[in-house]
Amino acid sequence: DFNLADYDYLPVSSEIKELFEYIKRYTPKTIEIEHKLQPFIPDFIPAVGDIDAFLKVPRPDGKPDNLGLLVLDEPSTKQSDPTVLSLWLTENSKQHNVTQQIKVKSLENAEKNPKAIDSWIESISELHRCKPPATVHYSRPMPDIETLMQEWSPEFEELLGKVGLPTAEMNCDLAEYVDMICAILDIPVYKSRVQPLHVLFSLYSEFKNSQHFKPLADGKKGRSPPSNPPSQAADVDVLSF
């Protein structure tokens, strides 16, 4: 416990001594922080079979075979392809620039083994289908795609209903047309137009593949566009470049 008399010998001013009295006056509050338990699901990393228990029959000559340590021990009737497994690990770890020795698989008498060729094509196709999307790091600040997908203000939509979006038939060069489209969509344009165009096409792809806006765009193909576009989503989907 704090006792104020234990500090009377200190050579301090009266103002400092008054500060010691606030120590007794202060009563700390007990704050209970609410905690929530959430399941943690890590990213999928390709693995083979169950956890290796390292229960193996030793070799008759007593030499270590290093199964499970240097060589993958896969007790399965359908063995994994080492090259395909290495490509899976490379894609998930994103270590494409690491110099390593990769074994190249070859088939003898390939015309007599069409199942192995079909299995290889299917494995590589599955690898490309499950490949994560590429990430681009911009050198200048760029708005988020979700921010650009927000609905326009009613005043701006009313103005577009009267004026309309600039089409590709305008009497201007491609650079000026890119600047106009990016300015309408709130995409900043710097000295180089490569990164703003990447944001523009990413925005277009997001609208095109959106589960919410795709049915709206498909329904508009059979009829003429309305005079007053409802939102930015429909306008972006009908832009022509």
Q: What's the DSSP call for residue 193?
A: S
CA dihedral angle for residue 141, residue 144, residue 147, residue 149, rounded to 10 degrees: 120
Q: Residue 220 has which token pair?
A: 């508009």
Residues 6+ apart with CB under 8 A from 83: 102, 103, 104, 105
Q: Which residues 6+ apart lie within 8 Å of 188 measured at CB? A: 140, 141, 142, 143, 182, 196
pLDDT string in tens for the chain (241-residue length): 677 778 788 888 888 888 888 887 888 888 888 888 888 776 766 665 666 666 778 888 988 888 777 777 776 677 778 788 888 878 777 666 655 666 677 778 878 888 888 888 888 888 888 776 667 778 888 888 888 888 888 888 888 888 888 887 888 888 888 898 898 888 998 888 888 999 999 888 888 887 777 666 666 555 544 444 444 444 444 444 4
Rounded to the nearest 5 degrees, what angle is found at the Cα of 89, between the Cα atoms of 65 and 79? 50
